[in-house]
Copies of this chain bind each other. A is one copy, B any other.
Amino acid sequence: MKNYTYDAEKLKDWIKKDGIKKFAVQVPAGLMHHAKAIREEFSAFGDCYIYAEPSFGACDFPQKQQIQYVDGVVNLGHARIPNITSERVLFLELYADISPNTLSFECSPEVLGKHTALFTTVQYLPLLPSIKEKLKDAGINAHIGRPGKRTMYEGQVLGCDVSSPCALAGYVDSYLFVGDGDFHPHGVCMQTSKPVFRYRINERKIERVQFDRERFLKKRYGIAYTIQKVTDVGVVVCVKPGQLRMHTATALCDTLRQHGKKAQIIYANNISPAILDYSGFDLIVSTACPRIALEDYINYKLPMLTPQEALLGLGEKKEYEIDQIL
Contacts and interface: CB of A to CB of B under 8 A. Distances in A.
A54 B276 CA distance: 11
A210 interface: no
Interface string A31-64: 0110111010001000011111110000000111
Interface stretch (A158-166, A171-179, A266-274, A317-325): A266-274
A232 B64 CA distance: 28
Given A35-B279, A52-B275, A69 B246 contact: yes
A35 B53 CA distance: 26
Contact of A66 (B36, B37, B234, B239): B239
Contacts of A122: none
A168 interface: no
B276 A52 contact: yes
Contacts of A129: none
- Range of interface residues on A (Cβ < 8 Å): 35 or more
A268 B52 CA distance: 5
Contact of A35 (B51, B270, B280): B280
A302 to B, nearest CB: 12
Interface of A is mostly: mixed
A266 B52 contact: yes
A265 to B, nearest CB: 4
A43 to B, nearest CB: 7
B54 A275 contact: yes
Nearest to A235: B49
B267 A50 contact: yes
Contact of A53 (B63, B65, B270): B270
Number of copies: 2
B35 A265 contact: no
A257 to B, nearest CB: 12
Nearest to A270: B53
A231 to B, nearest CB: 12
A279 B65 contact: no
A234 B50 contact: yes
Interface string A257-299: 0000000111111110011101111000000000000000000
A274 to B, nearest CB: 8
A253 B36 CA distance: 17
A281 B236 CA distance: 36
A278 B54 CA distance: 12
Given A65-B66, A239-B67, A278 B32 contact: yes
B266 A49 contact: yes
A49 B265 contact: yes
9 contacts: A33-B278, A48-B264, A49-B266, A51-B268, A53-B269, A54-B275, A63-B65, A66-B239, A69-B237
Given A50-B265, A53-B275, A69-B237, 9 more contacts: A36-B232, A43-B264, A48-B264, A50-B266, A50-B279, A51-B268, A64-B65, A65-B66, A66-B269
- Per CB-CB distance, the 5 closest pairs between chain A and chain B, nearest first, are A36-B280, A32-B278, A52-B268, A65-B65, A49-B265
